[in-house]
Amino acid sequence: MKIEQNIPLLEELLADWKSTISVEYLGYRNHVYRMVNFCLVLRACSDEEREKIIIAGAFHDIGIWIDDTVDYIPPSLPPAVDYLTKRGCESWADEIKLMIEEHHKIRAYKDSNYPLVEVFRQGDLVDFSLGLIRFGIPNDYVDEVRALFPNAGFHASLAKRAGKWFLKHPLNPLPMMKW
């Protein structure tokens, strides 16, 4: 199983957000690389599917920094759609929006019209769980991806943001999660 260590499209997409993400950039970049690699090992993808995963990966959490919020899924959608429109890929918008909207769904996403939504959810969960949940991905592969793309404080910054959010919104502690 190959690990993609340099994805030009991903680098291009993330570069536009480097100043917005600021000191948390490396952590987010590495998170996206980890999850994209996990997605690509979960499913043998066509070139188009691979590109969709990369695009959704770049934008899926970007709302954290756009709106400085833990309720980041809604503000993550417009930049993704804007990018697709500029590229003339509007026909991908519904699927990529679903990939972003459903990536923290607790239960499996079961619409067979959009299989990448479930692959994307699983790839993100492998990383979010620090590799404890693997969906059949070999331990050695997960460990190697995690070693190549260190956490760089990503999970710690999420925990810190979540703690601050909880103090202000105790009745809605995890707004990004879906049943």
Taking only the tens place, the pLDDT of each residue in 32-67 is 999 999 999 999 999 999 999 999 999 999 999 999
Mean pLDDT score of the chain: 95
Residue 175 located in a structural domain? no
146 has a pLDDT exceeding 90: yes
Q: Is residue 2 in some structural domain?
A: no
CA distance 85 to 81: 6
Residue 87 reports pLDDT greater than 90: yes
Q: Does any domain span residue 85?
A: yes
Whose tokens are 């691979």? That residue is 50
> What's the pLDDT at 81?
98
In this prediction, residue 19 carries a pLDDT of 97
- pLDDT given at position 101: 97
Residue 165: per-residue pLDDT: 77
Please, what is the end-to-end C-alpha distance for the chain in angstroms? Answer: 32
Q: Look up the domain containing 54 and give its range.
A: 8-168
- Confidence class of residue 86 from pLDDT cuts 50, 70 and 90? very high
34 domain-assigned: yes
**Within-domain flag for 1:** no
Quick one: average pLDDT of 100-106?
A: 95
Residue 51 falls inside a structural domain: yes
Residue 27's pLDDT is 97
pLDDT at residue 26, as a whole number: 98
**pLDDT at residue 150, rounded to an integer:** 97
Whether 88 maps to a domain, the answer reads yes
Residue 179 clears pLDDT 90, i.e. is over it: no
Domain count, the chain: 1
Pull the structure tokens for residue 32.
């996206």
The predicted structure's pLDDT at residue 153? 92
- Residue 100 confidence (pLDDT): 98
Write down the residue that tokens 């995963």 correspond to: 53
The length of the chain is 179
Q: What percentage of the chain has pLDDT greater than the value 70?
A: 100
CB of 165 within 8 A of CB of 173? yes
Query: What does the alpha-carbon distance between residue 137 and residue 51 come to, in Å, rounded to a whole number?
Result: 21
The answer to the question of residue 159 being in a domain is yes
